[in-house]
Structure 1
């Protein structure tokens, strides 16, 4: 049986193995899909060992999405543009890389009734997932995309690659910004479990807030958004399912139904508490 996996650190919490097993069940495909712990120092060697052991495809999550780019011999156009890879496909003796995060995000936002076209969007973070989201928002026709990051140079570098209508704003200067239509958290701050330091002014109530993380990792940001009286708040579980469906189609050539799988993993996540 061909093997598949998700690589990241931490990774034990990942729902990806259950999601891909559920997708496989729709088509009678038995899936050997595992979660493999790998940090930046060990990722290349761990991925090589995985390929030797029959690995045919993989997903990549924090903090490895930008590192995965340099391990690929071929990149899709969207992966090349955003400089981020979350989907790997073994082609002979080489890895081909793709980025399915952006399309997964847009599909989940649409499920919530949010169309990025014409919106003023604030993107918190400038890492691999943020890069994929940023290009997706511009492709979808966002009116303005403001990128901010604790390390200002990373936000500036991303905005430079994006071009207009993207621009940067220093984190400490966000309190002077007018209200945004959509605030997206692409930082890893919630994984530490600490309270989220809401950066916007008290009167700048956003229409919607979305965290690319899900479960416990999304709670600090969503709690801060609730306290700021955001009118809608969503975690990234739907994005996880939608980007996984894109990966599944790349690997197996068939497109799974996402709604029943989203409902299944949401119930599972709620049961975890």
Structure 2
């Protein structure tokens, strides 16, 4: 008769290890997202076990999708276009100051049974501008777009000391609404803040930031020429394997430097990871790896 060794304590621990915590990025479209790669890389860096997926929510079903995710054991969500303002509304009772100022949320989590929200887009953008050698301090900046992405970065740019922030949008009423929100939150910002339509771009500017999703549709915003000062930066929050339509437009219009939003994506993800796990990962390592991955196709 054969006898078998009983399981050791270590074997028992392995067999009964809890499943990894579940996280996701939610948006529509979502197929292009590199967030799973980034957060899995951060998890390996910091020794955390997690499962991270992409969720494409129906345009009219964001709230229900979020509710189902957390009801089924989800721990945290990154939110991308076009749901950041809806996420703000869902988490309104439990918002960080950054989220309150932005009136948009890109990071959700449950705490003591309640949904909480933060906005880490501004941190990601500011850190990437510094990495590129274009500090916003004392700079005149044109912000193209007035949706959730623009809301996430407008106050951080002003708080970082930019000399002027001009917000323009295809629908100028949305630009006006963002302008009004910022003034209501911080009245002292008024002298440095203005708004208009795409045709009211003015200029020239030290930094032009495309916060619209136009590049996802392979188009550039309908912007006039002569927007760029000597040495100016054109920054697209969208990223890709090659230059975006906005980056190509900016180069043709005289921008000295063009950059996509991959560094911002990694930076905001690092800040979200820190909220969820209590440790800040190294963004440079994952940015290098992700850029290589994109170029390799």
- TM normalised by structure 1 equals 0.94
User: 1:137-163 CA deviation, whole Å, 9 max, x = no partner?
Assistant: 111011000000010101011112223
Kept in 2, the 8 Å contact 1:40–1:67? The answer is: no
Provide closer, same or farther for how the CA distance between residues 259 and 202 of structure 1 changes in structure 2, counting only shifts above 3 A: closer
Task: Give the alignment of 1:39-78 within 5 angstroms.
Answer: 39-72=58-91, 73-78=93-98
Query: 1:198: Cα distance to partner?
Result: 3.1
1:111 equivalent in structure 2: 131
Residue 248 in structure 1 maps to residue 267 in structure 2: no
Residue 211 in structure 1 maps to residue 231 in structure 2: no
The secondary structure found in structure 1 opposite 2:205 is coil
Kept in 2, the 8 Å contact 1:39–1:64? The answer is: no
| Cα distance between partner residues in 1 of 2:215 and 2:139 | 25
Task: Give the alignment of 1:135-150 within 5 angstroms.
Answer: 135-150=155-170
1:86 equivalent in structure 2: 106
| Cα distance between partner residues in 1 of 2:59 and 2:241 | 23
* 2:284 maps to which of 259, 266, 269: 259
| Cα distance between partner residues in 1 of 2:98 and 2:181 | 13
| Cα distance between partner residues in 1 of 2:139 and 2:197 | 20
Kept in 1, the 8 Å contact 2:198–2:223? The answer is: no
| Cα distance between partner residues in 1 of 2:284 and 2:198 | 36
| Cα distance between partner residues in 1 of 2:77 and 2:173 | 30
2:260 equivalent in structure 1: 235
Q: Which runs of 5+ in 2 are unaligned?
A: 1-19, 184-189
Query: 1:206: Cα distance to partner?
Result: 6.7
1:152 equivalent in structure 2: 172
User: 1:186-210 CA deviation, whole Å, 9 max, x = no partner?
Assistant: 0111111135433233786671110
The secondary structure found in structure 2 opposite 1:215 is coil
The secondary structure found in structure 2 opposite 1:207 is strand
The secondary structure found in structure 2 opposite 1:181 is strand
Kept in 2, the 8 Å contact 1:246–1:255? The answer is: yes
2:248 equivalent in structure 1: 223
Query: 1:232: Cα distance to partner?
Result: 0.7
Provide closer, same or farther for how the CA distance between residues 196 and 171 of structure 1 changes in structure 2, counting only shifts above 3 A: closer
| Cα distance between partner residues in 2 of 1:199 and 1:150 | 13
Kept in 2, the 8 Å contact 1:183–1:206? The answer is: no
Count of aligned residue pairs for this structure pair: 270
The secondary structure found in structure 2 opposite 1:3 is strand
User: 1:112-155 CA deviation, whole Å, 9 max, x = no partner?
Assistant: 11111100000000001101111111110110000000101010
Q: Which runs of 5+ in 1 are unaligned?
A: none
| Cα distance between partner residues in 2 of 1:52 and 1:128 | 25
Query: 1:31: Cα distance to partner?
Result: 1.6
Provide closer, same or farther for how the CA distance between residues 214 and 239 of structure 1 changes in structure 2, counting only shifts above 3 A: same
Kept in 2, the 8 Å contact 1:182–1:206? The answer is: no
Provide closer, same or farther for how the CA distance between residues 143 and 172 of structure 1 changes in structure 2, counting only shifts above 3 A: same
1:198 equivalent in structure 2: 223
The secondary structure found in structure 2 opposite 1:169 is strand
Considering only aligned residues, what root-mean-square deviation do their CA atoms show, in Å? 1.6
